[in-house]
Structure 1
Amino acid sequence: MSLREQARAWLEESLGGEFAGARGLGGPGREHEGFELRRAWERHLGEHGWTCLGWPRRYGGRAASLADQVAFHEEYARAGAPARLGLIGEGLIGPTVLEYGTDEQKDRFLPPVQRGEELWCQGYSEPEAGSDLANVQTRARLDGGDWVITGQKVWTSLAQWADWCFVLCRTEEGSRRHHGLSYLLVPMRQRGVEVRPIVQLTGTSEFNEVFFDGARTAAGNILGAPGEGWRVAMATLGYERGVSTLGQQIGFGRELSEVVATARRTGAIDDPVLRDRLVRSWLELRIMRLNALRVLRPDPGPETSIAKLYWSEWHRRLGELAQAVQGRAGLVADASGELGELQRLYLFSRADTIYAGSSEIQRTVIAERTLGLPR
């Protein structure tokens, strides 16, 4: 039996039992849904070996091929399984620790991620260092056996639930831009760490501000050498655009189907301009998959920026199309004030072209590092 067949059978069985209520929970604009049930689901996945498939067996993975990893993510999405709470740990910090961590760091940090026991968040963006990440001002200094961190991060996804944060900060006094940065692993549940949720257009709060005021982490909780943080941070961003994006596209297809169904119900599909936009979206979604497969490799390069730019701009346009096919009904919430799925899609997809690298920055990366154009 292929891994795809195994995954399909296991997901069908698991989501038909105690986790039946977890189907469809979570996702952009809805990460608050069923948090405790989804956390239990993370542990269930880990216990049965369905997390971190590409990792070495020593750390709980299956050493699965890229093709098998893609197959699992696609089956996971098709099954309507809940949005993953452990995605940042599995998809971002895990591969980074595998590449840059010491044996001691791998033994400490990887198994709890694989078992679904520890959740992570990403401490990159700051009020004056969003797309211009090299302008990071959060600082850390060595004090005996600890790094002491002071500063502010913003747009930190899932920080209110995370156990750990990987923090890009400045550790060399007087350094500027890409120099003098370090990549620290910082426990979130301590004095000196304050998390303030940011209320979004959707009324939910996936994103947060995080304030570090004398927060501490052990001197050994650094990936790479002091001052090498930029190189490590860029590696993490490459992993952010890996195999899970193929599963994400299954969800996009589901959203597009709902938009088409709504267009049929409202009669918007009879408008030749809207019908052309629907057909174009369908074609572009298939191009998205082919392009994602083309750039997929174990050591992601700058060409992954093409995939990020493509899917985020496509998804934003889908949100706009979702509003258009609803007509005037799309402008009002229901009697209880709740947003519909397509309204939430429209509002939240505005963020897609900003988080995980803004479209402006992706175009610059593509121009300079993929096409070789001058700065």
Structure 2
Amino acid sequence: MSLQHPPLHTVHVPLGERAYDIVIAPDAIDSAGEHLAEMFPGARFGIVTDENVAAAQLPRLLRSLDAKGLMHTEIVVPAGEASKSWDRLHTVAEAVLAARLERNDLLIALGGGVIGDLAGFAAAIARRGMDFVQVPTSLLAQVDSSVGGKTGINSPHGKNLLGAFHQPRLVLADLSALETLSPRHFAAGYAEVVKYGLIDDEDFFFWLEANFNEIAHGGPARAEAIARACAAKARVVTADERETGDRALLNLGHTFGHALEKVTGYSDRLLHGEGVAIGMALAHRFSARLGLAPSQDTGRIEAHLKNAGLPTTLADIPGDLAPTETLMDAIAQDKKVSRGKLTFILTRGIGKAFIERNVDPAAVSAFLEDMR
């Protein structure tokens, strides 16, 4: 296949018969029809998106599909974290069946992490499993949620507690879509980029420090940062697809972050990436308190996150924060809890994260109380 505009980067996720490519290009949405017609001849497509992305990006995708004669139907849900719910999953699944999409047809997730998780879960259960394609339009989705096959919805008990592992067949990351993001939403996605450096690649973190201005303003470093982040996640996912071991490292900052998202009502009060940023700062501070990590690393990490426009402390969350006891209840519902024991991703410094099981809840509670 000869594309009108070849991708800037292609990252391969080598999962055997479930292997797929992540295509990173400034016009990935405009060339989607070419990719899909080549890979899935004769298939029809159900496009799942939200109201905001439908206005900004759906016309581009429809033109691309129409140019290749690909049949499609659109399923549009409200924007926001609230759409990761049973009600919206039911809406999407029933729309797939009503459109008479068959098992060998595909869903397309056009949007951010919410849409990718929702559409991917719907694909996993509709007709006992349909293929799907990720077309992530936010930075967070491009470097994290669109890669690795985690799909799901939220529960009143916590975030992402209902779902399935279901790998996409293709990821099309459109760089031009990032130009529509607000500075706040771009920064929230950037938190997940930083995470890969903090897990096990201090050189990447130092590179991000040196190149942040170009990343923020859309220079060549932006595409490189996305490609390096995707390659880092692909490497971890390939080694541990279903998170039975080291894939849990990708949750650095997420145990604290998910709890903060829950107690703030999964609202615009705290975006997911903002919760992760605070969570990563807290994880490093907690590690330093335990004598595991040098405190100067915590200061360096927090300085870079702040420079990127991200919150790093509980005090940065607007409004009154729930009591520590409520935060601890949310942490106790984290997916990494095993037999009631708390598991955290802690660190020995920049690029030196590790999994610590059986963390003392009393120590976490006391730490959070001090951080308030």
TM over 0.5: no
TM-score, normalising length from structure 2?
0.29
More strand by share: 2
Query: What is the TM-score when the length of structure 1 is the normalising length?
Result: 0.29
